[in-house]
């Protein structure tokens, strides 16, 4: 089981590498995004997809942001999750940031917001094919702010096309008690 501390360290190391190589990475990042419109509702005040983030780092970024949802701005954790959501995931929750913020208030998803702690366990990795990017699953165990333990299955997919080519995005996040019903 990968602890939240280990994943946070990984994310911080990746951010440190990013800041050490600021000029080179900024030029690459800017040229990769130059002339490409941002996706609707993406928020620049919170992390955005970048190929530097591994699948595990994306889960860590989202979970750590959700754990302190209103830091540094209101709903920063939810906005981070929105930024790292695939188009299919966005469509499933209404298609706009405003709809996602409403959706996130439901009793199931709300257990992730302002949680006490979390830990993750890397699941299956399925290599990319000619028609889709690689897939990975992560089992996340959350200690809610009400002291309950809940499990969520995160599925991420590596993007094959610009503007997020090479980035890992959340394809779905299922509450484990409901996951079996969703897959039948």
- Would you state the pLDDT for residue 83? 96
Neighbouring residues of 101: CB distance < 8 A, sequence distance ≥ 6: 75, 78
Residues 100, 106, 109, 110, CA torsion sign: positive
Instruction: Give mean pLDDT, residues 167-171.
Output: 98
Show Cβ contacts of residue 73 under 8 Å, excluding neighbours closer than 6 positions: 45, 46, 79
**What pLDDT, in 10s, does the model give residues 32-66?**
333 333 555 565 679 999 999 999 999 999 999 99
Q: What is the pLDDT of residues 67-76, one digit of tens each?
A: 999 999 999 9
d(CA 166, CA 49): 9
pLDDT band at 27 (very low <50, low <70, confident <90, very high): very low
Nearest to 39 by CA among 77, 91, 4: 91
More confident residue, 37 or 183: 183
């Amino acid at each position: 089981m990968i602890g939240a501390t280990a994943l946070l360290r990984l994310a911080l190391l990746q951010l440190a590498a990013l800041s050490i190589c600021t000029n080179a990475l900024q030029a690459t990042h800017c040229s990769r995004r130059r002339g490409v419109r941002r996706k609707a509702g993406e928020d620049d005040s919170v992390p955005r997809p970048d190929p530097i983030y591994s699948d595990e780092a994306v889960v860590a970024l989202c979970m750590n942001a959700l754990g302190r949802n209103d830091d540094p701005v209101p709903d920063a954790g939810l906005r981070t999750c929105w930024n790292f959501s695939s188009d299919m995931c966005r469509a499933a929750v209404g298609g706009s940031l405003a709809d996602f913020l409403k959706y996130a208030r439901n009793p199931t998803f709300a257990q992730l917001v302002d949680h006490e702690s979390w830990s993750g366990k890397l699941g299956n990795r399925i290599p990319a094919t000619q028609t889709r990017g690689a897939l990975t699953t992560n089992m996340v165990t959350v200690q809610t702010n009400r002291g309950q333990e809940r499990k969520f299955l995160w599925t991420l997919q590596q993007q094959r096309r610009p503007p997020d080519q090479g980035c890992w995005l959340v394809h779905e996040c299922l509450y484990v008690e409901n996951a079996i019903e969703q897959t039948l």
